[in-house]
Amino acid sequence: EDKVVQSPLSLVVHEGDTVTLNCSYEVTNFRSLLWYKQEKKAPTFLFMLTSSGIEKKSGRLSSILDKKELSSILNITATQTGDSAIYLCAVNPYGQNFVFGPGTRLSVLP
């Protein structure tokens, strides 16, 4: 059965800290891995990763995929209180529905 695991499940940091969120997966016919940020409403899209070793970057957020290790990390530098959210990792296998991880709940304290 396809599975996506995220760690840690929750994390509390202070503003200015750098955080690394982890996602690992076991799926057949991997196509892509996606990261989403969910605040009080529905998730918003952050990144889609398909190739190993190529970093995707958007402002203070960056992400990279390691297909050999079946994992991905999401980095957030110089965290701000507005980064507080649940970060969801999802994998899109060929011919199957997206599989979501449980999410990492990040709290950034002032």
Partner 1 sequence: GAVVSQHPSRVICKSGTSVKIECRSLDFQATTMFWYRQFPKKSLMLMATSNEGSKATYEQGVEKDKFLINHASLTLSTLTVTSAHPEDSSFYICAVASSGNTIYFGEGSWLTVV
3-class SS at 46?
Answer: strand
97 near partner 1, judged by CB under 8 A: yes
Nearer to partner 1, 9 or 78 (CB): 9
d(CA 26, CA 15): 33
100 within 8 A of 106, measured Cβ to Cβ: no
User: Which of 16, 81, 98, 109 is the binder for partner 1 (CB under 8 A)?
Assistant: 98
State the minimum distance, in angstroms, from the CB of residue 80 to partner 1. Answer: 23
Q: Which of 61, 73, 76, 64 is nearest to 108 (CA)?
A: 76
67 near partner 1, judged by CB under 8 A: no
d(CA 27, CA 17): 32
State the minimum distance, in angstroms, from the CB of residue 95 to partner 1. Answer: 12
Nearer to partner 1, 32 or 75 (CB): 32
Q: Which amino acid is at 28?
A: T
User: Which of 34, 64, 65, 106 is the binder for partner 1 (CB under 8 A)?
Assistant: 34
State the minimum distance, in angstroms, from the CB of residue 14 to partner 1. Answer: 23
